Amino acid sequence: MRHVLVLDLQDDPEAIAAYRHWHRPGGPPEAVTRAIRAGGVAALDIWQVGDRLVMLMETTPEFDPVANAAREAADPEVQAWEVLMDRFQRRLPFAREGEKWIEAEQIYSLDDQP
């Protein structure tokens, strides 16, 4: 299954550069990468334009976001990463309390067109 999620960064060139640095190959801690893969995520890419991020995620049938959140909340290394990343991230104006990445709704597909 494909998921598209959106989040903004702080509108600050230094914060954006730091966020990009942390996401370079080998940048995220091994525990974070391991948790993503163990959670049923087959592929994950983050794209950036300006201060906007778009995450494209392909998941397996075993993907369970509630179970993943609980497992990640119990992992101190993953939580340390979340705290670090939170310094650079800015919630979308319509995000609910505690919500970071917002899942986008697909409204068009070329495959559906005649």
Are 10 and 55 in contact by the 8 Å Cβ rule? The answer is: no
Give the pLDDT of residue 59.
98
d(CA 40, CA 36): 7
Count the helix, strand and coil residues of the chain and give each as a percent rounded to the nearest 5: 35, 25, 40
Q: Which of the four CATH numbers 3.30.70.100, 3.40.50.300, 3.10.20.30, 3.40.50.720 does domain 2-90 have?
A: 3.30.70.100
Task: Grade residue 69 by pLDDT with cuts at 50, 70 and 90.
Answer: very high
Q: pTM to 2 decimals?
A: 0.92
Give the pLDDT of residue 31.
96
